[in-house]
Amino acid sequence: MTNRRKFLQTVAALPSLSLAGCGWRLAEVRANAQTSVPRDQLYIYTWTQYTDKQLLQTFSTQTGMKALADVYDSNDVMLARLQAGGGGAYSIIYPSDYMVQKMVDKALLIEIDHERLIGLDNLLPRFQNPTYDLNNRYSVPFNWGTTGLVYNSEILKDAPEDWDYLWQNQQQLKNRMTLLNDVREVIGAVLRMLGYSYNSQDENQIKQAYEKLKALKPLITDFDTETWPNQMLAGDLVLAMCYSADAIRVSKENPKLKYVIPRSGSSLWTDTIVIPKTCPNLDGAYAWINFILQPEISAQISQRLNIATPNRYAFEQLPIDIQSNADLFPSESILEKCERITPLGKIEEIYERYWTELTSD
């Protein structure tokens, strides 16, 4: 899955940068992590929006260990780096749910010793035995969310209720909407609209979704996960398919930008914390996981970085206005209609073939 939940383009080659529009500053970002890591240092490989200076400093204050973060903008980039031997310095990595399965299959992860964890039972029940990693053998959930549509409510008076809104309002949306640059999300959403599973393995169903998208293609500005927030804020777009975490951030910039989860259903995703087999600082890795499992730390992260915590005691510590934010914490009735994206093996080649045809026309 490409460019997962990336809000603004981050250039990993820079030693540090400020994203003032997001209201946070990434701390120490090292593009070329050392292969020999001192025991008092912990290198983390994570998504662009999942760390900041305050988080790393608090960990250092608690443990006396210096934490440094490298960032990536897609699961595929992360996996490719690890498989190419470029991840030897990392003791902690943040893959998405379906990628945990792939990494386990490729024998890239250490099985987590639960005896060394403090607070794993703080997690909400749905995150304690997830389908992508039974009994949390290899991963600990960090953040979760949904995929949906963000729209300009000042221009589009009628809120989108389902994915078919894109086809029913073509004149209003022409050249003013974007879809994610993500094969499984985009084709999956249309499959769901057609009454099928996000994870369909039926080539005929996948082809039907492709044909619907092909008809819409001339009206789409771009397949984009990176730059749509700035375009939306500038008024160049009126609608974008996006991840909930990004929608929440952009709506803080402009409250007229609203997020909806289509009624036919969407994807439910979780980003996790894992320990790679090449981990050079195992004690540090467990120290980091236990740090994140602390309810007060998890609550601070959720509030400061606008992400949904899977920690039930952290949730209880959040202000009422955040607890009741349906974009961040959707109701059970909505979540019941959402599916997790799962690896499909050889079937994914069918998705990729149609995606190539769709995006290269």
Burial class (CB in 10 A: 0-12, 13-18, 19+), 208: middle
| Nearest in space to 22 (alpha carbons), one of 248, 268, 216 | 248
Binding-site positions: 98, 182-185
Token pair of 181 as six digits:
């640059």
Q: Tokens 């909407």 identify what position?
A: 177
In sequence order, the 6+-apart residues with CB closer than 8 A to the CB of 53 are 25, 26, 27
**Distance from first CA to last CA of the chain, Å, rounded?**
21
Burial class (CB in 10 A: 0-12, 13-18, 19+), 295: middle
Alpha-carbon span 326 to 308, nearest angstrom: 11
Token pair of 130 as six digits:
């997830």
Alpha-carbon span 271 to 99, nearest angstrom: 9
Alpha-carbon span 302 to 127, nearest angstrom: 16
Pairing of strands 257-260, 140-152: antiparallel
Residue 321 CB neighbour total at 10 angstroms: 7
Binding-site positions for spermidine: 98, 182-185
DSSP H or E segment with residue 60: helix 53-63
Alpha-carbon span 92 to 90, nearest angstrom: 6
Token pair of 195 as six digits:
């009454």
Q: Tokens 């893959």 identify what position?
A: 95
Token pair of 340 as six digits:
């997790």
Judge contact between 22 and 55, C-beta under 8 A.
no
| Nearest in space to 72 (alpha carbons), one of 11, 150, 135, 134 | 11
